[in-house]
Chain A
Amino acid sequence: MSEHIIVGMSGGVDSAVSALLLKEQGFDVECIFMKNWEEDSDYCTSEQDYKDALLVCDELGLPLKTVNFCNEYKERVFDYFLKEYAAGRTPNPDTLCNKEIKFKSFLNYALKLGASRIATGHYARLDQHNEAVLLRKGNDENKDQSYFLFMLNQYQLEKTIFPIGEMTKKDVRTLAKEKGLPNHDRKDSTGVCFIGERDFTEFLHQYFKPDPGEMITVDGKSVGRHDGLMFYTLGQRQGLGIGGGHGEKEAPWFVADKNLKDNILIVAQGHDHLDLFHSQLSVENVHWISDKSPSIKKLNAKIRYRQKDQSCSIDISNDALIVVFKKPQFAVTPGQAVVFYDGDICLGGGTIENRN
């Protein structure tokens, strides 16, 4: 009997082509639609996603089932997301969702259904190397999603296949069209899954009361009011309500820092303002995919998804991890993930704690 694989089906073209490829390779493929978020709102697209997934599976002749992990998602991802925002930080729920939901709850569920491994439509590659699994970047530089997968461990990766990791998005779409998959031209999803296409700040306003305070420039000059520090992200440009007129030049303003103690938002003018850049950051919740910290100290890092690799050195001592970048980095944001690479190998990463 052929190996039984369960594919996490989102309704999108990436997971659809993943299932297609595995089927063509002769695996015994079954698909599961994961529902991790529910609310009564026009923004909730999961019903349409499910219908798309149904049509894809019908075309492929594969069974589709749904599993609901809304409680798990709420407890293990969303509550953390809110807690971080409340603390004035900017969390990344997608990395946690992968660790806790897709590659934990879903994986366990699939194993209970008798599958030997799961597959997802992530742009990333896996490589068995000297008894260890390496996580490599996807071949499509633009789409590489290893950044979101840095929290996974050896066990999780051993039980996983990324069928489209070698492909480019363009090839994935072309293949989907060739094979007549009904979702081949579906729009790429953007943003955090539970927020969808809606306005992010508006979403946060459902959970946080406004907590207005003063907005000052890095030089201490008052330039207005803010609605509450959690509604702002470091490096954010829009939505500050100040035109260029406040400065000498007409350059736009950016969020440079948050003074949580005094509830003050600090802004700087011009994208190149020095106060928007930092060369050093400290990391918490450090995780290494191989279980061991790397022997090399000079490597690359990304502090946001799709950022180009940045040269850096790391210093690990007394349970603290300090990263020093070769070039200063724009908007180093506490709560976001810093992910380390050695060439195309994703080594692991952690949560940005502080910068200086």
Chain B
Amino acid sequence: MYYFDHSATTPLHPKVKELMGEVGEHHFGNPSSVHVSGQKAKTLIESARRQMAKAIGCSSNEIIFTGGGTEANNLVLWNLIHQKKKHVITSVIEHPAVLNVLDNLEEFGVTYTAVGVDKTGMVNPDDVQNAITEKTSLMSVMLANNEMGTLQPIAKIAAIANKYKIIMHTDAVQTLGKIPVNSKELGADCMSFSAHKFYGPKGVGALFIKKDLKLKPLIIGGNQERRMRAGTENTSGISGLGLAAELATNNLHKTQSHLISLTHAFKAQITHIYPEVIFNGHPEKQLPGLVNVSFPGFRNDLLMIHLDRQGIAVSSGSACSSGDIKPSRILSSMGITDDINNSTLRISFGIDNSLQDMEYLIKCFKSTFERIRSAT
């Protein structure tokens, strides 16, 4: 298979896979147990915590492991029900793991303002500032969007939040290993991560919570994760996350230049075979490796089936539970018409893609265009 859907999920890094197998096999002890096997497991988790902390430039007691990015978002957002002030500022391009949570919090008195984006998909910090009310206690704006990849001005938004003593959360799941993510430079109070987006396992995530910020847990039980996330730890998953985070940040420069060169070459070559092509998102402030591209005149689901038959995995809009494609609300929010929206694909390159893979993708696009044209 030729896999170009790394924003959806990534394959396990071979070293991560090896480590997880080893941990699962030899270090199955309960990290809360006092015997050697338990203590070894505990050590593995703490070492993963240090790796994750180092990857984002925070201290290890600022990291909580969760069951994924969605859970990390939920942990932060559900704290609103304990707040006196229950207004949130967010953006229209957030993942359902933020927006749907906020909708569900309405019955607990939570209200929110979702600021819009410009045609490059970027939130304007002034809009965020203008949305502040005396009831605002939280801002939640993602660091990079998963569909069109526009990088958001989080440092600026966090500065506004800090000034008004509002908690700043950013959903950063798309970013680790693709751009530098430094908790101090960004200035956010909470950040969500998900291991399977950076060549780690599925079902494990991490939440950065700034030292002085007191949050209440979402999942309550034993004393694991400083009581912030109860339940026996997923030792092999957490170890996998730790190593994946370390590998992702250690190789950041190499990965970035690889992804950028793939993206540039792809854009040049696809423009050559289909000059009407439209690239969506921001021309510069863009997640490396992610190309959101429209092919006016072609239905994206038709393109995807043709490509899939040739062993190519790309994605489009937001896939729904019955496998169909809806027009992307993210693209609509950027002012993109339904026609263009329905002709849009997301190609997201990863560290395992070679230049030859990309050229095969171009070749398949070419034959797909020809086949569809000849059938009509």
Q: For the complex, what is the distance from the CA of A114 to the CA of B373, rounded to whole Å? A: 11
Q: Which of B306, B320, B322 sits near A113, CB closer than 8 Å?
A: B306
Segment with Cβ contacts to B, from A64-72, A203-211, A241-249, A305-313: A64-72
Residues of A within 8 A of B375 (CB): 111-114
> Is B301's CB under 8 angstroms from A114's CB?
no
Residues of B within 8 A of A114 (CB): 371, 375
Segment with Cβ contacts to B, from A43-51, A129-137, A212-220: A43-51
Residues of B within 8 A of A35 (CB): 322, 324
B362 interface residue per 8 A CB criterion: no
A147 interface residue per 8 A CB criterion: no
> Is B302's CB under 8 angstroms from A50's CB?
no
> Is A47's CB under 8 angstroms from B302's CB?
no
> Is B324's CB under 8 angstroms from A67's CB?
yes
> Is A68's CB under 8 angstroms from B301's CB?
yes
Residues of B within 8 A of A68 (CB): 301, 324-326
Min Cβ gap B104→A in Å is 14
> Is B372's CB under 8 angstroms from A66's CB?
no
Min Cβ gap B332→A in Å is 14
Interface residues in B292-312 by Cβ distance below 8 A to A read 301-302, 305-306, 308-309
Q: For the complex, what is the distance from the CA of A214 to the CA of B323, rounded to whole Å? A: 48
Closest to A113 in B: B305
Residues of A within 8 A of B324 (CB): 33, 35, 66-68
> Is A67's CB under 8 angstroms from B322's CB?
no
> Is B371's CB under 8 angstroms from A49's CB?
no
B356 interface residue per 8 A CB criterion: no
> Is A66's CB under 8 angstroms from B323's CB?
yes
Closest to B323 in A: A66
Most B CB atoms within 10 A — which of A66, A67, A112?
A: A112
Residues of A within 8 A of B321 (CB): 47, 50
Min Cβ gap A43→B in Å is 15
> Is A112's CB under 8 angstroms from B323's CB?
no
B376 interface residue per 8 A CB criterion: yes
Q: For the complex, what is the distance from the CA of A135 to the CA of B197, rounded to whole Å? A: 53
Residues of B within 8 A of A277 (CB): none
Q: For the complex, what is the distance from the CA of A137 to the CA of B302, rounded to whole Å? A: 33
Residues of B within 8 A of A194 (CB): none
Closest to A108 in B: B376
> Is A50's CB under 8 angstroms from B305's CB?
no
Q: For the complex, what is the distance from the CA of A46 to the CA of B376, rounded to whole Å? A: 30
> Is A50's CB under 8 angstroms from B323's CB?
yes
Residues of A within 8 A of B305 (CB): 65, 113
A109 interface residue per 8 A CB criterion: yes
Residues of B within 8 A of A50 (CB): 321-323
Residues of B within 8 A of A54 (CB): 323
Closest to B306 in A: A113
Contacts across chains A and B counted by CB atoms under 8 Å: 44
> Is A67's CB under 8 angstroms from B372's CB?
no
Chain A residues bordering chain B, tally (CB within 8 A): 19
> Is A33's CB under 8 angstroms from B323's CB?
yes
Min Cβ gap B52→A in Å is 35
> Is A109's CB under 8 angstroms from B322's CB?
no
Interface residues in B345-376 by Cβ distance below 8 A to A read 371-372, 375-376
Min Cβ gap A15→B in Å is 15
Q: What is the 8 Å Cβ interface bit string for chain A, positions 52-79, against chain B (1 contact, 0 not)?
A: 0010000000011111100000000000
Q: For the complex, what is the distance from the CA of A113 to the CA of B322, rounded to whole Å? A: 20
Residues of B within 8 A of A64 (CB): 323
Interface residues in A104-127 by Cβ distance below 8 A to B read 109, 111-114
Q: For the complex, what is the distance from the CA of A349 to the CA of B302, rounded to whole Å? A: 34
> Is B302's CB under 8 angstroms from A109's CB?
yes
Closest to B302 in A: A112
Closest to B305 in A: A65
Residues of A within 8 A of B309 (CB): 63
Q: For the complex, what is the distance from the CA of A68 to the CA of B299, rounded to whole Å? A: 11
Residues of A within 8 A of B376 (CB): 112
Q: For the complex, what is the distance from the CA of A199 to the CA of B144, rounded to whole Å? A: 45
Q: For the complex, what is the distance from the CA of A68 to the CA of B319, rounded to whole Å? A: 11
Min Cβ gap B330→A in Å is 18
Closest to B309 in A: A63
Residues of B within 8 A of A47 (CB): 321-322
Residues of B within 8 A of A109 (CB): 302
> Is A113's CB under 8 angstroms from B323's CB?
no
Q: For the complex, what is the distance from the CA of A49 to the CA of B321, rounded to whole Å? A: 11
Instruction: Knowing A112-B372, A112-B375, A113-B302 are in contact, say whether A65-B322 is a contact too (CB < 8 A).
Output: no
Residues of A within 8 A of B325 (CB): 66, 68
> Is B322's CB under 8 angstroms from A66's CB?
yes
> Is A67's CB under 8 angstroms from B306's CB?
no
Min Cβ gap B375→A in Å is 5
Q: For the complex, what is the distance from the CA of A129 to the CA of B324, rounded to whole Å? A: 39
Instruction: Knowing A67-B301, A111-B375, A112-B375 are in contact, say whether A33-B306 is a contact too (CB < 8 A).
Output: no
Residues of B within 8 A of A111 (CB): 375
Q: For the complex, what is the distance from the CA of A64 to the CA of B308, rounded to whole Å? A: 11
Min Cβ gap B328→A in Å is 13
Min Cβ gap B311→A in Å is 12
Q: Which of B302, B322, B326, B371 sits near A46, CB closer than 8 Å?
A: B322
Residues of B within 8 A of A (CB): 301-302, 305-306, 308-309, 320-326, 371-372, 375-376
- For the complex of A and B, list the 3 residue pairs with the smallest distance between their C-beta atoms, beginning with the closest: A66-B323, A50-B322, A68-B324
6 more CB-based (< 8 A) A-B contacts, given A47-B322, A50-B322, A114-B371? A33-B324, A65-B301, A66-B322, A68-B301, A112-B372, A113-B305
14 examples of A-B residue contacts, CB within 8 angstroms: A35-B322, A38-B320, A47-B321, A50-B322, A54-B323, A64-B323, A65-B323, A66-B324, A66-B325, A68-B301, A68-B326, A113-B302, A113-B306, A113-B375
